[in-house]
Amino acid sequence: MSNDLVIKDLHVRIEEKEILKGVNLTVKPGMIHAIMGPNGSGKSTLAYTLAGHPAYEVTGGEAWYKGQNILELGADERSKLGLFLAFQYPVAIPGVTVANFLRSAINAHRAEEGTDPKQTAIPMAQFRKELRDRMSTLEVDDSFARRYLNEGFSGGEKKRIEILQMAMLKPSMAIMDETDSGLDIDALRIVSHGVNTLAQEQPDMGVLVITHYQRLLNYIKPHFVSVMMEGRIVREGGPELALELEEKGYDWIREEVFSNAGA
Amino acid sequence: MQERNELTLLPALSELTDEHIVNTARAVNEPGWLLLKRQQAWKHFADSVPPFWRRTDLTKFKSEQVAAPVGVFGTQLELDETLAAQGVIFMPLGAVLRDQEPLVRQYFGTAVDPLAHKFTALHAALWQDGVFLYVPKHVALEKPIRATFTFPEGATSIFPHNIVIVEEGASVTFIEEYTSDDMAGQAFASPATEIFIGDNASVRYITAQNWGKGVYTVGSQIAKVGNNSNLEWIALNLGGKLQHLEAETYLEGNGSRVDWQASTFAEDGQTLLTAPWLRHIGANTEGHMDFKTVVNGGGYTTFDGMIKIEKGSRETISRLEEHAIHLSEKARSDSIPGLRIDTNDVQRAGHASTSGQVDEEMLFYMRSRGIQRDDAMKLIVMGFFEPVLDRLSADMRERMTGIIEGKI
């Protein structure tokens, strides 16, 4: 049973349009793996598909994690397996407080088949303490615990709350979808610090960082960089590849890849 | 508080006559003016045709079977010894007809018109249960005043009439709960509540119905709000086979204000209609209505609301939001919001309305955190009702949460 996340020849479409056209990718435990690519290359589709969004139709391929083809699991089962998606556009849940939501999620993770959920639930004092500690690391005001999840939050607040959820759920494989979008430099620093803290605490956590810009990778340093274009991974390399993209843009890769393919 | 004597029932409506009503009133020495009102109401009931309600289907309702209880057997009051010392009166209405005759006479039937239609008339003719709450000037009650209503043992109908009078500068929370077990056959509840709020007063009115299966409830609730007074109206409509509820707030006083929050949940076999009317009459009145509805199975709900900004009102602020969530394909909800403005001087009047299935993006987001679909649904529905639940006491919140979760 491998704790690698192994994606093989993944084909995905949404509303009849094929977006992913055979993605191959392996994310290893303890590694930070960045996926970069221009807009519309399929990066977010990959993130949503791995998390199990019902609108994305898998037409071919596999995604293996901890001995299971996760494409056959519901979104909640994938989460319990250790997968986490930090959303690019977090969803507001009116009337459900951040604290209540997190407690429900944690207790869902702790629940065991055939055992009274009350038995496995996180003790209230422990939950409160951990929530307070995590919020303070992410410089989130205490009052957010009682606010309704993402309702009326600014873009930066939403992203911080995503990382707060990640810190509370402690995934073994975290996918971060354009977490840097809409963040100013201070928020970017705080969010990155939160991710790095967690990565240090949990040395076996794999992280898949999806981003358009190199900027985020100054703060969250990747071990590997893959470039996605037109629904495929077209180039793989080390951190230097991100710097090269920052300097030269994506066009040169496009030219190399697609002129070769055409030749 | 229950009387010790045994429950008797009036003859069923098919057999009932004016004479029964007269004899019942005389047996307990009711004031003459009240008996006269009963007789007028009875005549109106007997003479008038059934109301035509497009969305309330009473074709299966057997009115001829209704047999009203005699005496106060379905009213439970949570008594508090400290109230009397502050001049507060909280008693069954039937028990204060003599002692508080001037007040009762002054207010009875002045908000809910006994002759409005056949059902209000029937109520006015036959009511026995209900409470009288009087809060004198400048008395602020911390602890809520609570009354509970249910069918008396051996009866399948109840007609509670509640009068709440809150004098100038006073504040109070009044809770009324209507509840019963599931009924084997048909049962009928006909409640009416009249609330009169003086100047600079503050009232939180919490009304919850969780009638059992088989119960038809046709009721009226009207509150009149004085100058610079505040009404917070919290409603939960959860039970029964059929509900037809006419509710109305009169913002009569200048600077009067209502914050009106309602949660309705209809599941399979339930038809629940709420018709809230908000009347802006005074100057600088402000009304906020937030009505939330969840429908499951083959349930059916109607929101038939109206905001009336009357001639002579000025600088009115009015906002209505009503949202419905359908948990099943068969679920139905109708929304008929109305707005009538008879003045040129409105500061703000807004309306928003939505209905549909639970948002798939919300469900996915929650599931992506490990929460199963069913639990996610529950969280979403409870969150939807949170503005109402948040305003309940801990024990009531827990009870209502249990009832609602049982319906999801």
Contact between A148 and B373 using a beta-carbon 8 Å cutoff? no
| pLDDT attached to residue B79 | 84
Q: Which two tokens stand for residue A220?
A: 């969250």
Closest residue of chain B to A50, computed from CA coordinates: B368
Assess contact for B109 and B127: CB atoms under 8 A.
no
Rounded Cα distance between B84 and A127, Å, is: 45
How many Å is the maximal CA-CA distance in chain A? 65
Taking the CA atoms of chain B, what radius of gyration do you get in angstroms? 21
Token pair for B113: 């018109």
Whether residue B386 and residue A108 make contact (CB cut-off 8 A), yes or no, is: no
Instruction: Give chain B positions within 8 Å (CB) of A79.
Output: 367-370
Q: What is the pLDDT, as a whole number, of residue A84?
A: 98
Question: pTM for this one?
Answer: 0.93
How far apart CA A216 and CA A188 sit, in angstroms, is: 7
Give residue-wise pLDDT tens across range A105-132: 999 999 998 999 999 999 999 999 999 9
**CB B155 within 8 Å of CB B124:** no
pLDDT for the residue A213: 86
Cross-strand partners of B294: B265, B325
Pseudo-torsion of CA A84, A122, B363, B336, nearest 10°? -150
Phi, psi of A52 (to 5 degrees): 100, 30
Of A54, A74, A105, the CB nearest to B369: A105
Contact B368 A93 (CB under 8 A): no
Determine, for residues B379 and A75 on separate chains, whether the beta-carbon distance falls below 8 Å: no
Task: Quote the minimal CA–CA distance from A154 to chain B in Å.
Answer: 18
Please, what is the angle between helix A155-169 and helix A124-137, to 10°? 130
For residue B368, the chain A residues in CB contact (below 8 A) are: 51-52, 75-76, 78-79, 84-85, 87
Classify residue B311 by burial, with Cβ atoms within 10 Å: 0-12, 13-18, 19+.
exposed
Asked whether the beta carbons of residue B375 and residue A94 sit closer than 8 angstroms, the reply is: no
Whether the CB of A103 is below 8 Å from some CB of chain B: the reply is no
Query: Largest alpha-carbon pair distance within chain B?
Result: 68
The length of chain B, given as a count of residues: 408
Q: What is the pLDDT of residue B81?
A: 87
Q: Could you give the CA distance from residue B61 to residue B277 in angstroms, rounded to a whole number? A: 26
| A78 in contact with B, Cβ within 8 Å | yes
Chain B within 8 Å of A114 (Cβ-Cβ)? Answer: no
CB contact under 8 A, B384 and A94: yes
Using the structure block, give the residue that is written with the tokens 């035509």: B52
Looking at residue A144, the DSSP 8-state letter turns out to be G
Question: For residues A152 and A249, what is the distance between their CA atoms, to the nearest angstrom?
Answer: 35
B364 to chain A nearest CA, in Å?
6
* pLDDT at residue B393, as a whole number: 95
Interface mutation vs chain B, best among A79, A83, A84, A93, most B CBs within 10 Å: A93
Closest in B370, B384, B385 to A79, CB measured: B370
Residue B290 burial class via C-beta count within 10 angstroms: exposed 0-12, middle 13-18, buried 19 and up: middle
Does B365 contact A90 at a Cβ distance shorter than 8 Å? yes
Q: Considering only CA atoms, which of B179, B178, B174 is closest in space to residue B164?
A: B174
Backbone φ, ψ for residue B391 (5° rounding): -95, 5
Q: A104, B379: Cβ pair inside 8 Å?
A: yes
pLDDT at A1: 58
| Chain-chain contact of A169 with B385 (C-beta, under 8 angstroms) | no
Each residue's pLDDT, cut to its tens digit, for chain B (408 residues) gives 444 568 899 999 999 999 999 999 999 999 999 999 999 999 999 999 999 999 999 999 999 999 999 999 999 998 888 999 999 999 999 999 999 999 999 999 999 999 999 999 999 999 999 999 999 999 999 999 999 999 999 999 999 999 999 999 999 999 999 999 999 999 999 999 999 999 999 999 999 999 999 999 999 999 999 999 999 999 999 999 999 999 999 999 999 999 999 999 999 999 999 999 999 999 999 999 999 999 999 999 999 999 999 999 999 999 999 999 999 999 999 999 999 999 999 999 999 999 999 999 999 999 999 999 999 999 999 999 999 999 999 999 999 999 999 999
- Where on the phi/psi map is residue A197: left (φ > 0), alpha (ψ -120 to 50), or beta? alpha
Q: Tokens standing for B66?
A: 């209704």
**Token match 């809910």: residue?**
B112
ipTM given for this complex: 0.96
> Residue B247 in 3-state DSSP?
strand
Place of tokens 């919850």: B208
Distance between CA atoms of B34 and B101, rounded to whole angstroms? Answer: 10
What are the tokens at B72?
Answer: 């106060």
Determine whether the interchain pair B367/A52 forms a contact, defined as Cβ–Cβ distance below 8 Å.
yes
Phi, psi for B197 (deg, rounded to 5): -115, 120
Amino acid present at A246: E
Q: Which residues contact B119 (CB under 8 A, 6 or more apart)?
A: B51, B190, B218, B244
| Chains A, B: CB pairs < 8 Å | 79
Residue of A nearest to B374 (CA): A76
**Contact by Cβ (8 Å): A62, A9:** yes
In the numeric block, the tokens 């009166």 are attached to: B89
Average pLDDT score over residue span A233-239: 96
CB pair distance less than 8 Å for A104 and B375: yes
- Is the separation of the CB atoms in B278 and B249 below 8 Å? yes
**Which of B263, B360, B371 should we substitute to test contact with A (largest number of A Cβ atoms within 10 Å)?**
B371
CB atoms within 10 A of CB B90: 24
Chosen from B366, B369, B392, B397 to mutate, greatest number of chain A CBs within 10 A: B369
Nearest CA in chain B to A92: B362
Q: What is the pLDDT of residue B6?
A: 80
Contacts (Cβ under 8 Å, ≥6 apart) of A53 = A75, B364
